[in-house]
Amino acid sequence: MQDDLPIEIPRVLIAALRGGSGKTVLSIGIIAALCNTGKKVVPFKKGPDYIDAGWLAMAAGRPCYNLDTFMADDRLVCRSFLSHTADSSNDIAVIEGNRGLYDGLDVAGSTSTASLSRLLNTPVILCLDCTKSTRTMAAVVLGCLHFEPEVEIMGVILNRIAGSRHENILRKSIETHCGVPVIGAVPKLKSRDFPERHMGLIPTPEHSWAKNSINAAADVVANHVNLPEVLRIAKTSENKPFSCSSDFSCSGDDALSVEIGSSRKKTQSTPQNHPKIPKIGIVKDSAFQFYYPDNLEALSSAGADLVYISPLTDAGLPAIDALYIGGGFPETHAKELAANQKFRNDINDAAESGLPIYAECGGLIYLGKSLVLDQVYPMTGVLPVEFGFSKKPQGHGYTIAVVDRENPFYEIGTILKGHEFHYSKVLEWHGSDQDMVFFMEKGHGIINKRDGLCYKNVFATYTHIHALGMPQWADTLVRLAKVFRLKTED
C-alpha cells in the first residue's frame, strides 16, 4: 500500500457557484483553445454526466472520463485519474465540476466538486456568472475562499459580462478584496452556438455543427482568457499527492497497467475477431448515446468483442451474443425507431430466444410496448409497459438500489449506487412488482419504488451504473454472452 503518491501531470478544476453558470462552455473552450496551441489535454467530468462529457471529449479529441465519488470509492476515482493521465506525453488534465463548488449530498458536502478538488489535490478556477452584479461578486468569492480554506481557488473567470466598465468594476473588486487573480472576462455567447434542451446542452451526435460550436468557444477563450495563467495554475499541482491511498505504483510500465472497469489487468490472448470471443452489440447512435467509456472498456477487458449497431440505420439485428442498450433520447427519434419494424421484431425475437439484454433508461423505453408523444409509437414490445413524456423530471439524481429478487445479472443483497435522469414516465404497466428486482432505497425507479425489470435474460432499468463502482456488471454480461453462444452453437 502506497500513500500520498505524487502525481506529475498539471491539473486544474473548472467550478462554478451553481449549475447553468456557463462552466461547461468555458471548459470546452479552454480545452479546445489549449489543444489549438499544441497541448495534449486529458478531459474529465465530475459527477454523473453523458452530455457535457461528450462535448469535452470532442473538444479534446479523446474520451472524457467521469470522476464520481458516489458511484465509486475514492481509491478507484484516484486510480481512474492516474490511469488516464499516465502517458508522459500528456500536458494537462482539465476537470469540469458539476453544480456549485460546494454542493453535495449533505451538509458536509459529500461528493461535491470541492471534495473532488481536495481528493485530487487540484486547484480550482471559479467561473462566475456576473449577470446584473458587480461588487457583490467579491463578497461571494471571499465567502468561497473561507468556506473550505483547504480548497485552493487560484483564479476567477468572469462570465457573461456586459462590457468593459462592468468588467473593470468586477476585476478591481475581486482582486482588491479577495487577492485572487481574475484571469479572464468572457462576454455572453450566442445561444445558437450551444443549443439546449430539457437535459441541458444538445448532445454532440445530434448537433450537426458541434465542431463549429467548439471552435467558437475556443476563439472566445483565446481572446478573453489568459491561457498562460490557466497553465500556471495547473502547474502548481504538479507532483502534489492525492489524499487517497493507492495499492499500485504509477511509475514506468506499471502506470499503463492500472486497471479500470473490471479491476484486473487486460490481457487479450486471442484476437477480438476470434470465433470464440463473445460479440456484444452496443446500440449507439443519436437516439442511444449515453455510455460511460469505462463501461464499454470494461466489457472489452472482460473479453467481449463490441459490435456497434443502430436501429436508425441498420436493417436488422446482426449475429450477437448479448446486447447493451444505453440511455439517450428515443423521444426525439420515436418516428424513426417505430418505422424500423424489422429491427424491433429482431430484438423481440432475440429476447424470447434468451439473448442477454441489458438496457438503461432510453433502452428501457425502447424495450417497452410503446412510447406515447403526439401519437402512439410502437417500440419493441419486449416488456409490458407503455411510456409517456412529462415536462418535468420524473427521476433526477443519485440512486441506491437494493437487489431483493432473483435475476441473471445481480445477486440478491447487492447494493447498486447509480443515477437516474429522465422525463419519461409509465403510462400503463401490465406487469407486477414481482417482475422488478430492485427496491429503490434512494431514487424513483420505474414504479412503486421498484426498478430493474427482468424478463428471461432481459434486464431493463432507469438506474445508470458506472462500471468502476460495479466491476461485476461487465463480467456478468460477458459470462451470459458466452453461455448464450454455447447454447446457440449446440
Question: Is 15 contained in some domain?
Answer: yes
Within this chain, do residues 234 and 111 fall inside the same structural domain, yes or no? yes
Question: Is 181 contained in some domain?
Answer: yes
pLDDT of residue 465: 97
pLDDT digits (tens, 9 = 90+) for 16-41: 999 989 999 999 999 999 999 999 99
Q: Which domain CATH number covers 296?
A: 3.40.50.880
Within this chain, do residues 319 and 229 fall inside the same structural domain, yes or no? no
| Catalytic-residue membership of 361 | yes
3-state secondary structure 382-402: CCCEEEEECCCCCEEEEEEEE
Within this chain, do residues 336 and 465 fall inside the same structural domain, yes or no? yes
Within this chain, do residues 429 and 376 fall inside the same structural domain, yes or no? yes
Would the pLDDT of 249 be above 80?
A: no
Question: Is 263 contained in some domain?
Answer: no
pLDDT of residue 391: 86
For the chain, give the mean pLDDT.
89
Task: State the residue range of the domain holding 318.
Answer: 279-489
Residues of the chain above pLDDT 70, percent:
88
Q: Which domain CATH number covers 103?
A: 3.40.50.300
Within this chain, do residues 75 and 221 fall inside the same structural domain, yes or no? yes
Per-residue pLDDT band for 207 (boundaries 50, 70, 90) equals low
Mean per-residue pLDDT, 415-422: 95
Question: Is 474 contained in some domain?
Answer: yes
pLDDT of residue 36: 97
Within this chain, do residues 243 and 288 fall inside the same structural domain, yes or no? no
Per-residue pLDDT band for 211 (boundaries 50, 70, 90) equals confident
pLDDT digits (tens, 9 = 90+) for 258-285: 343 333 334 344 455 555 899 999 999 9
Mean per-residue pLDDT, 367-371: 97
Range of lowest pLDDT (181-185, 244-248, 280-284): 244-248
Question: Is 258 contained in some domain?
Answer: no
Question: Is 233 contained in some domain?
Answer: yes
pLDDT of residue 202: 59
Within this chain, do residues 312 and 440 fall inside the same structural domain, yes or no? yes
Mean per-residue pLDDT, 133-150: 97
pLDDT digits (tens, 9 = 90+) for 46-92: 999 999 999 999 999 999 999 999 999 999 999 999 999 999 899 99
Name the domain count of the chain. Answer: 2
Within this chain, do residues 239 and 293 fall inside the same structural domain, yes or no? no
Question: Is 361 contained in some domain?
Answer: yes
Within this chain, do residues 190 and 320 fall inside the same structural domain, yes or no? no
Written as one string, the DSSP assignment of 291-307 is --HHHHHHHHHTTPEEE
pLDDT digits (tens, 9 = 90+) for 436-478: 999 999 999 999 999 999 999 999 999 999 999 999 999 999 9
Mean per-residue pLDDT, 158-177: 96
Question: Is 262 contained in some domain?
Answer: no
Cβ-Cβ contacts under 8 Å for 192 (sequence gap 6 or more): none
Within this chain, do residues 286 and 245 fall inside the same structural domain, yes or no? no
Within this chain, do residues 205 and 297 fall inside the same structural domain, yes or no? no
pLDDT of residue 192: 53
Within this chain, do residues 373 and 458 fall inside the same structural domain, yes or no? yes
Tell me, yes or no, if the pTM score tops 0.75.
yes
Q: Is residue 411 classed exposed, middle or buried when 0-12, 13-18 and 19+ CB atoms within 10 A define those classes?
A: exposed
Mean per-residue pLDDT, 333-346: 98
pLDDT of residue 1: 34
Q: Which of 35, 144, 244, 361 is catalytic?
A: 361
Which stretches of 274-358 are DSSP H helices?
293-301, 334-339, 341-352
| Lookup result for grid cell 490511469 | 83
Domain boundary among 253, 270, 299: 253
Q: How far apart are CA 21 and CA 140, in angstroms?
A: 14
